[in-house]
Structure 1
Amino acid sequence: MDSPHEQHRGSNISLPERAYRIRRNALRMGEVQGQGYIGQALGVADILAVSYFYALRYKPEDPEWEDRDRFCLSIGHYAIALYSALIEAGILPEFELETYGTDDSRLPMSGMVTYTPGMEITGGSLGHGLGICVGMCLGLKRKKSSSLVYNLMSDGELGEGSTWEAAMSAAHHGLDNLIAIVDFNNQQADGPSTQMLSSEPITDKFAAFGWFVQRVDGNDIDAVRDAFDQARSHKGKQPRVVICDTTMCKGVPFLETREITHFVRVEPDEWEKALKVLDEGRPQ
């Protein structure tokens, strides 16, 4: 399937290069505050690269363009990851990354729709994003819009009852304009998500709720791209979900091996080291 991005913008920059740049933006913002949800940002960079530079239909100069696809960040603490993609996509100017998390910044540490161009929802209490997206999809259906709604959510949100109410509702209404993306990194604040409240077998559960389900390596760009193609072209009148198994801190090996990666503690001298390691692994 043709990429909407290529159709309306055109680019010869590879998806791996886009993912590298998104990771670099995130590390630079993390350095501004000396902290942040860097592990998640590095982990979902490949998903965001495919989303913004292959799958999504949008206009960087007009973030509220009516015919755009909506990309919703259910997990508000992943905001640093989305800002990194919005900067790479030209929706936000690069210089603003220096303001990350500061007073009066358009880039608060948790994503809020009223602050940031390109931010579709406020990802506050986890577990609400999918329900909001169901409402968006119903509204777009009523307007006979061809736009799609993508919802990036976490494996931890699968422990929220509201998520499964929304999943049941989406299938009931035949929302074939909804594509959920689950970042399965098996990390929560209190430990591995499978040990806190296991949602396995996830694929079977979504299928039982009436969804078209795929599960892929979320750090394999080709696999993510193919899964997005199948989700967009699937003929069934049902919502779609792509479950993406990801590695926290992907691309910076010495951070990947940290015991606790939900909120990574990065020492002042390690930011430069992380950027150097990332640059050494830059796609050719």
Structure 2
Amino acid sequence: MDTELLKTFLEVSKTRHFGRAAEALYLTQSAVSFRIRQLENQLGVNLFTRHRNNIRLTSAGERLLPYAETLMSTWLTARKDVSQAFRHNEFSIGASASVWECMLSAWLRRLYYDHKGMQFEARIAQRQSLVKQLHERRLDLLITTEAPKMDELGSQIIGQFNLALYCIAPARSMSELTYLRLEWGQDFQQYETGLLSADDVPALTTSSVEIAARLLPALEGCTWLPTHWAEKHTHLAKVNDSLEITRPLYAIWLQNSDKLNQVKAIIKTPLVE
């Protein structure tokens, strides 16, 4: 039995909606439908009655539900127990590409010096995906610019940085430049939107500082960059009248993480620029 099929069945039975199940599982709706068909073919029964905006479990689906919940719970417990034997020295840290490129690379080097014998994994993904990995215990620590919104997550501010609009030198005004959107979190995006008119469409949207910076000359663009990072690149200049926006950097972890002691020790290592 493919556990991913059972996981998909449980999500659809919970949401009673293929679209919402797809969003929760980070899949397309067609992929969710395909998985349910696979499971139904293996069992030889229909598990759901499908009507527009009205998806219900069949009697066979109702019978499968407690078994699926037990099987998935057993599987997750077994995976966690087995993996602990091999992962006691492994520690996974997740962040967006921009945070890794500007704030965490030097910090990671420092961690190797301060925590001998540890094996680190650096993961790059969007915040939403990394929060999901925290809940699933596939990620030990998340570094992000946004505070957690769930009680089961612990957090601590471990640093801060300033953002300003930069372009290729010499400095120019924003009205003369093409705007490139570098993603710094949804709360920053609300501020960013206030600076743009309804007709301003970013020529590029990316989570990578390196990609945005490389395209500034070709697109005659400007983008929000960390000041400490930009100041090391002499070909960059602040856009005229650019404000500096201070952003926090949070360390976030699962409150009942099995690696809480390692989390506490690691976040004591100061960030280095």
If the TM-score is normalised by the length of the shorter chain, which range does it land in? under 0.3
Q: TM-score, normalised by structure 1?
A: 0.21
Q: TM-score, normalised by structure 2?
A: 0.22
Structure with bigger gyration radius: 2
Which has the larger share of strand? 2
